[in-house]
Amino acid sequence: MTRTLAAPAFASPTRTPSPLAGISNPGARL
């Protein structure tokens, strides 16, 4: 569940830079 919700969060970092996305998925930042 957390991954599905975080997916769209880090999917558009330019649109909505959320630090939470990096915490949930540290690899997503890279």
DSSP of the chain, one letter per residue? -HHHHHHHHHH-TTT---HHHHHH-HHHH-
Reported as a pLDDT band with limits 50, 70 and 90, residue 24 is: low
Q: Which residue range forms the structural domain that includes residue 30?
A: 1-30
What's the structural domain count of the chain? 1
Higher pLDDT, 29 or 25: 25
Number of alpha carbons in the 13 Å side-chain half-sphere of residue 30: 2
Mean pLDDT of 1-28: 56
Closest CA to 16 of 5, 26, 8: 8
Query: Are 3 and 15 within 8 A, CB to CB?
Result: no
Give the pLDDT confidence score for residue 14 in this predicted structure: 54
Tell me the chain's radius of gyration from C-alpha atoms.
Answer: 8
pTM of the model: 0.16
* Residue-averaged pLDDT of the chain: 56
